[in-house]
Each structure stands twice: as structure tokens, then as C-alpha cells.
Structure 1
């Protein structure tokens, strides 16, 4: 990965803040009768036919169509996008919430697949595969020593439920090679990372996206927290770029009383569709806090806006992304699709939180960089909202439209101005990759450690902090970490704990010093 301090936050952000709302289908028209003069809608089809039949060189007309479709959509809004056939499976799988496979988290070490950890209770764990194992062969197919495209790799490891695959494994810690048979099964892709207790009365749930399974995951976590004594709840949608609007609505419904307005949408024909809370929800009483940041978008903003406008939750953090457009996915019939903006959504008080895109897509996404420049990520006073975009909740609280959800309690970035890249890179996959490499060098020295022993070990040494600085330089990332040593060590320690003891331990360590969590617990 190549990057630098100046551009990393914006690039990292761009991968996160993508709102998605899937819907009905629309078939793409096939070439037909072009007898009608000046039929602008048929020009593209006719041009492609001309190129196919008469152009001097051979041309892949499919790529021309894809390029044309993308150019057209760029003229509409930043969230109307084309999804090519080769991208659809990954997109659909992520939103579906599961897939059929062998169930591993992996990392490419050189040209070899290394298991970071098998999915808990998944097919690979049941077959005895361990963290650090290398997968050399899938059946007779060699998976090392050559560059292999991820799509090809996935096709070798995926299959039908119940089908078996023989893997050849090299276990580095024991320096031995052996075969193991894995029975493929449904592997969940979690959209709720964790549900845990922050203290005796406050629960915490982290949602990373809104997929088909999100509400079921959320409900399971919430009921578990209530059994553990949760009287207050923190919902964390930081860095959650959105997903299915309906799932955000279902979650909001659990906190609101019957017939309270959750959200409404308007299309270009003026049709308004309102969604109201239904029967008694799971958590209609008790304090609720929603954590947001500049990467919280779309469905995350629907949830935050619904609870803020109904005086049901305190919103904590920084101004959210500002996406108030609703997309519907329409299939072309060849495996590709267009995700087209079909309506705008409004929070219960009537505010649109869509930020302006009049100056084009490039300027739209540069707005995030502008927040750094103006100091908005460090001071609530730097958020510029027009007086005409003020709205009142039923209890008289002022809320704002015109570009994201403005929090009730503002919490600045933890790092100093000019050090933003550090905050973002510590939450990037690079930390996990680094920690895996460190474990892989000497996994035996960590074997048998308790969590408390690990924490004590990490506290008294700067070895991994210094090694991480070297790791960044090796990857051509120039960052000065010394002023944020405590933050960096916390994330490295949490990642060690996560890989060795499970994801919940990662969050326990991170949340213990999280500035937004501290702001909540002061209330």
C-alpha cells in the first residue's frame, strides 16, 4: 500500500462512506427497430451496432457501454452508480450477510495464503485449522508460489453447502505439512461487530453496515445486554457507510413508541411515503446514545436522525457524512446493475440532511477534506449551518439540516490538528496485517498467555511500537507517531488481543479509552 500523510484520510474515508439501498429490478432495453428519426434514447444502441459492424479495428463494445453508463451516471448525483457483473457477487454477498465457504480470515504473506484466524465455529475451525496455518493446495490446485487473482482463489474455496474440499496445510509453528478435509457451510458476515457491557448498567452495540441480517443480529445483542442488566445503551455507527434503509428503520422502531414517525421519502413526482413505529419495541425506555462521525452515512443517518428528532437519543461525536438520497438497484439482465437515486429521505422534523452536490462529484467528495481545513473535526463552532435549516424537536431542541446529522455532544478527533492520518490508519487493515506478521515471527512466545499477561507484556515494551514505525516506512508511509504513542500502542495491543482472544477483547481494550465512550459515561 502506498500512501502519504496528506491524502490518506480522504482516501480511507472514500472507501467507507457509501450508502446503499437495494430495491426492485428494471431490465435494460435490447437493440430493436431504429426507424424513428431523432430517437435520442436509441442513439447509444445504434452507435454500438455501427462500431460492431463497421469500425476498422476490433473493439470490446462491452467496455464502451460500461464507460458510457458510468459517464451518464456521473452527471446525475454522486450516489447513482453502475455495478459491473464481476463486482455484483461481492456486493450482493456483503449485503446478504453470509456466503458458503470454508470460513477463514486470511492474509497473503508473500505469495501464500496465511490464516489470520478461522471463523469461530466455522468449517475450518471445526476441521482443526489454526491461526498461522498456510493453505498450499485446494484439492490438486496449487495456491502458492504464483500470483493468483482473488476471484480465482475464492472460486477454489467456495462451493455448495455440505460439499467437501481437501486442503494441504503447512503449520509453521510445528514445521509440518498435512492434509485436512473441510466441509463447506454457510459462513456469516457479521454486520454487528460486538454487543458488550461498558459497565454494570450500560450496554454497547457496534454496527458496521446495514445488511439483510443486521436487525436479527442487533436484536440478539440487545436482548442479551438487557439480560445482563443494561438500562442504557450506546449504538455505535461510526464509519458505517449505510446499507438497507429498512434495517435502520427496524432498529429505530425498537426505541420509539407506536405511531412515532421514523422517516419519510419524497420522489420527483411529489409522492411522500411515511414510515411509523409499530407496536411496543424492545427498548422504549432508558437512555440511548448514538455515536457518529464524518464517515457515518445513509442508513446510519436515518437511525440517528429518527432518534434525535423524536427526543429519544443523544447523538455523540462529529457531523455525519450528509447523504439523504435513496437508491434502488435495477438489474440490466447481464449480471450488472445500476444503483439509481429515486428519492430523498427526510427525518421526522422534516429536515433533509443531504449535502450539496451542485459542483460535481469531485467537489462533493473534497468536502470531507474541507472539514480538516476548517477545523470542524476539532471544534463544533466550525460547523457552518444556515439559520434557515434549523428545526425543532417535539421537546423544543434545535436540530439542523443541510448536510449531515449535527451531534448533540461534540467530540473532537483524539489526535492533534495535522495528525489526522494517524487516527485513520490505526483503524485500517494495516494494523491487523502488521500484528499478524509480528505473531507469525514467534507465535510460540504468545502461546499460553492469558489476556492479563498479554496486556502486561505490551505495556512494558515499546518493541511493537518501534516495529510498527519500521513497518509503515517499509510500506512508504511517512508518519511521525511519537506524539501519539499511547494511541498507537492501544490499537496495536487491541489487535494482538483480537487475533489471540477474539474480537470482543479487541473492542474492550479500544473502548476503555475511547473519547466518545468517555463522553457518554460522564452523562
Structure 2
């Protein structure tokens, strides 16, 4: 595996892929009408047919159509996108919140399907598959030594609910090979990563996206935290690129008093729809904090904007992405679809927080670079606001439109100017793969240890830090890790804990030194209504 090739897309995706995330749209049914005028449609059809029948070389006309559709959408806005047929299943699956399969987190390690961890409660865990196992065969299909792409692997491991697959598994820790007959089942894809107490009475909920199941997950998490004694609440929307607007609205409804405006939308005909909170929210009172950063977009900004404009809580972190466009999905009849911008949304005070895209998509998605160069990630004074776009909250506070939600309490990015790449890599898949490979060599040494001892084992020595430094350099990623030793060790220890135990222990460990969470816990705790 070439980790340098793996990492570069991860690095770029932080700023380039927000607009192509798996949601950020109102899911209205498509209207039954053509996309373009009949004469132009005929012109395109004639051209495609002419190429197909007469062009001297064989041409995949489907790819030409895809290029045509993409070219049209690129002329509109950065968030009107085409989703090809081969991408639709993954997109739909993520937004639905589950899939049918065997339920494992895996990656190709030395040409073998290595199980990083079975998904809790999934078919593989129930069948006895463990972290570190290699899946050699799925039925008669050989999975090792073939450098199979992920889509091919997925197709062999997924299937219909209730269908069976015979797996041949090698367990390295016991040096044995065995067979398992496994029944595929529905496997949830969580949108709430963690819900824990980070103080005696402060609940914390991390939401990674807004999918079909997000409100139900959030509601259950909040009910549980209240039972544990939570009197104040932190909602973490950092790096949450959006999803279904309805889910953000339902969560806001649980937090806002009756009849408060949550969001406004306006379409091409300037029709305004206003969505308001209803009675009976389960956390309408009590201190509330919403964490955002430069990658919090769309539905995340709807929720943050609703809380800020209604003076219901404190927005903590850095300026959000700035996406205020609403998309509708229209199937194109061949398994592909278009997500077309059909409206703009506005926060309760009337703010549009959509950034300008007048200079084109490339510059639009490279906004992170501008924030980096201006120093905005490290200083609130570097945030540029438009004095002409002033709005007032319910209590009369001044807030600004024109490019993202500006936090009430600014918290700079960890580290110093120039450390951004380290921050990205410590939260990327590279750390996960490195830790897996370390555990693959010494898993028995960690067996049965609680999170505190796992963390101590990793932090008490430079062994894993040095090995990680070597691992990065071996794969062409050169950083000066020495000045960040404590930080690197913290992330490594947390990943060891996640793979050996669970996500809850992972977040419990990381959040102890999380600057935004620390800022919340150190701030006065007023009863915000």
C-alpha cells in the first residue's frame, strides 16, 4: 500500500470535497419534466447517436454523457453535482445509515483482507471474527494475493439480507485457518460517534453527518446523558459536512422553545418557507455549546445558526465552511442522479451564510488555503467580516452573514501556524493503519488491558512514537514530529484504545486534552434560555 498516495487525497479532501458530501439537500421528489428544451435535447441525442454509430474508433458514449452533464453543472454552482451510477449505491447507503453485509472494518494489508475490527453487534462479531483476522476466501472467491480494489471486495462481502457466505479465515494469533458460515445482515453506519460525560454534569455528543438515522441516534444519546446527570450539553459538529436538512431541524427542535424560527428557505420564485420549533423539546433549557470548525458545513451550519440567532447557546470554535445552498436529487433513469441547487437557506435572523463562488469551483474549494495564509485558523482578529451584512439575534446581539457561522467563543487550531498538515494526518487513516500493524505484531501484550493501562503503555515509552515517525518517512511523509511528541503520542494512544476497546474510550481519552472542550468546561456555565 502506498500511503503517500493514500494521504494526499485525504489532505486535499478537507477543503475540496465538502461540496460533494453525501447530503446537504432537501429531499423533495423530482418533478416529472425534462431538464432542457426539446430542441437542445434533440441536438445532444443526435450527436451522441452519430458518435456511437459512425465514429472511427470505439467510444464509451456513457462516459461522454457523464462529461456533458458534469460540464453543464460546473457552470451553475459548486454544489450542483452529478452522481454516476457506480457511485449511487455508496452515496445512498451512507445517507440511509445502514447497509447489508458481514460487518467488518478492514483494509488490504500485504495483499490480504485484514480485519481492523468487527463492527459491534454485526454478523462478523456474532460469528466470532476478531480484530487481526485475515479473510482468505468468500465462498470460492480468493481474496488474498490479488490486489483487489475495494469495490470488488465490497461486492464479494455484501449481499442480500439473510443470504449466507462461507468465509475462510486465518487467525494469526493462533496460527490457524478455519471456516465460518456467516449470514449477512443489516449493519448500521453510525452518525453519532460518541455520547459521553466530559465533566460531572456536561454531556458531549459527536455527530459526523446528518443521515436518516441521525435524529434517532441523537435523541437516544441525549436521553441517556440526562439519565447520567447531564445538565449542560456540548454538540460537536466539527468536520461534519452536512446531510439531510430535516435531521438538523429535528435536533434544533429538541433544543429550542416553541415557535422559535429554525431556518428559512427561498426558492427561484422567491417563495419563503419558514420552519419553527414545536413544543416538548427535551433540552430547551440548560447551558448549550455547539463546536464548529472550517469543515462544518450545510446542515451543521443550519443547526449552529439556529442556536446562535435564537441566543439559545454558545457557538465555539472557528468560522464554519459557508454553504447556504439547498439541493434536490433527481434520478436520471439509468441509476445515476443529479443534485441540483433549488433554494437558498437563511438563518432565523435572515443571514445567508453562503460564501461567494463567483471565481469558480476551484477557488471556492481552496478557501482553506486562504484561511491558513491569513492566519484565521489561529486568530479571531484575522476573520474578515462584511460590515454591510449585520444582523441581530433575538436578544439584539450583532451577527454577520456572507460566509459561514462566526463563533461566539473563538478557539484556535491546536499547534502553531504551519502545523496544519500534522493535524490532518493525526486524524487520518494513516494512524489507524499504523496502529493496526503494531497490534498485529504484539496484540497479546495488550490483551485484557483497560484503556488507562493501554494509554500508559503507549505514552510511557518512545517506542511507538519513533516507529510512527519511521513509518511516515518510509511512505514519503516527512514531518518534524519531535516538537509535537506529546500530541502525537496522545493520538496514537487513543487509536490503540479504539482498536482494542471502543469509540467511547477513544473519545474519552482524546477529549481530556481537546482545546474546544477545555474552553467550554473553563467558561462560566449560565442557564441560557
Same fold (TM over 0.5): yes
TM range (shorter): over 0.9
Separation in 2 of the partners of 1:139 and 1:262?
51
**Map 1:497-516 → 2, pairs under 5 A:** 497-516=497-516
For residues 113 and 7 of structure 1, do their structure 2 counterparts lie closer, same or farther at Cα, with a shift above 3 Å needed?
closer
Separation in 2 of the partners of 1:161 and 1:5?
34
Separation in 1 of the partners of 2:9 and 2:109?
26
**Structure 2 partner of 1:119:** 119
Question: Counterpart of 2:508 in 1: which secondary structure?
Answer: helix
- TM-score, normalised on structure 1? 0.96
For residues 482 and 180 of structure 1, do their structure 2 counterparts lie closer, same or farther at Cα, with a shift above 3 Å needed?
same
For residues 299 and 332 of structure 1, do their structure 2 counterparts lie closer, same or farther at Cα, with a shift above 3 Å needed?
same
Separation in 2 of the partners of 1:123 and 1:6?
33
Q: Given the alignment of the two structures, is residue 24 of structure 1 paired with residue 29 of structure 2, yes or no?
A: yes
**Structure 1 partner of 2:14:** 12
**Structure 1 partner of 2:178:** 178
Separation in 2 of the partners of 1:5 and 1:160?
33
Separation in 1 of the partners of 2:485 and 2:359?
40
What's the CA shift for 1:214?
Answer: 0.2
Separation in 2 of the partners of 1:379 and 1:225?
33
Residues 154-178 of structure 1, C-alpha deviations (whole Å, 9 max, x = no match): 1211122222211100000010000
Separation in 1 of the partners of 2:520 and 2:462?
31
Given that residues 27 and 333 in structure 1 are in contact (C-alpha distance below 8 angstroms), is that contact kept between their aligned partners in structure 2? no
**Structure 2 partner of 1:66:** 66
**Structure 1 partner of 2:268:** 268
Residues 419-476 of structure 1, C-alpha deviations (whole Å, 9 max, x = no match): 1111111111111111001100121111132222212212210111111111111221
Instruction: Report the more deviating stretch, 368-377 or 13-22.
Output: 13-22
What's the CA shift for 1:90?
Answer: 0.2
Separation in 1 of the partners of 2:309 and 2:284?
15
Question: Counterpart of 2:366 in 1: which secondary structure?
Answer: helix
Structure 2's unaligned 5+ residue stretches are 524-529
**Structure 2 partner of 1:281:** 281
Given that residues 107 and 116 in structure 2 are in contact (C-alpha distance below 8 angstroms), is that contact kept between their aligned partners in structure 1? yes
For residues 376 and 214 of structure 1, do their structure 2 counterparts lie closer, same or farther at Cα, with a shift above 3 Å needed?
same
Separation in 1 of the partners of 2:155 and 2:243?
26
Given that residues 263 and 276 in structure 1 are in contact (C-alpha distance below 8 angstroms), is that contact kept between their aligned partners in structure 2? yes
Separation in 2 of the partners of 1:294 and 1:314?
17
What's the CA shift for 1:306?
Answer: 0.4
**Structure 1 partner of 2:357:** 357
What's the CA shift for 1:367?
Answer: 1.6
Q: How many residues align?
A: 518
**Map 1:344-383 → 2, pairs under 5 A:** 344-383=344-383
Residues 344-393 of structure 1, C-alpha deviations (whole Å, 9 max, x = no match): 00000000000000011111112221000000000111011111111111
Separation in 2 of the partners of 1:451 and 1:268?
54
Instruction: Report the more deviating stretch, 11-20 or 429-438.
Output: 11-20
Given that residues 118 and 125 in structure 2 are in contact (C-alpha distance below 8 angstroms), is that contact kept between their aligned partners in structure 1? yes
**Map 1:91-170 → 2, pairs under 5 A:** 91-170=91-170
**Structure 2 partner of 1:388:** 388
Separation in 2 of the partners of 1:355 and 1:437?
42
Separation in 2 of the partners of 1:503 and 1:58?
51
What's the CA shift for 1:152?
Answer: 2.0
Separation in 1 of the partners of 2:148 and 2:72?
34
Question: Counterpart of 1:95 in 2: which secondary structure?
Answer: helix
Q: Given the alignment of the two structures, is residue 291 of structure 1 paired with residue 291 of structure 2, yes or no?
A: yes
Question: Counterpart of 1:254 in 2: which secondary structure?
Answer: helix
RMSD: 1.8
Instruction: Report the more deviating stretch, 341-350 or 267-276.
Output: 267-276
Question: Counterpart of 2:505 in 1: which secondary structure?
Answer: helix
- TM-score, normalised on structure 2? 0.95
What's the CA shift for 1:14?
Answer: 2.6
**Structure 2 partner of 1:441:** 441
What's the CA shift for 1:278?
Answer: 1.2
Q: Given the alignment of the two structures, is residue 2 of structure 1 paired with residue 1 of structure 2, yes or no?
A: no
**Structure 2 partner of 1:222:** 222
For residues 27 and 335 of structure 1, do their structure 2 counterparts lie closer, same or farther at Cα, with a shift above 3 Å needed?
farther
Question: Counterpart of 1:442 in 2: which secondary structure?
Answer: helix
For residues 23 and 366 of structure 1, do their structure 2 counterparts lie closer, same or farther at Cα, with a shift above 3 Å needed?
same
Given that residues 28 and 332 in structure 1 are in contact (C-alpha distance below 8 angstroms), is that contact kept between their aligned partners in structure 2? no
Instruction: Report the more deviating stretch, 156-165 or 266-275.
Output: 156-165
Question: Counterpart of 2:174 in 1: which secondary structure?
Answer: coil
Given that residues 298 and 323 in structure 1 are in contact (C-alpha distance below 8 angstroms), is that contact kept between their aligned partners in structure 2? yes
What's the CA shift for 1:41?
Answer: 3.9
For residues 511 and 99 of structure 1, do their structure 2 counterparts lie closer, same or farther at Cα, with a shift above 3 Å needed?
same
Question: Counterpart of 1:2 in 2: which secondary structure?
Answer: helix
Separation in 1 of the partners of 2:361 and 2:411?
28
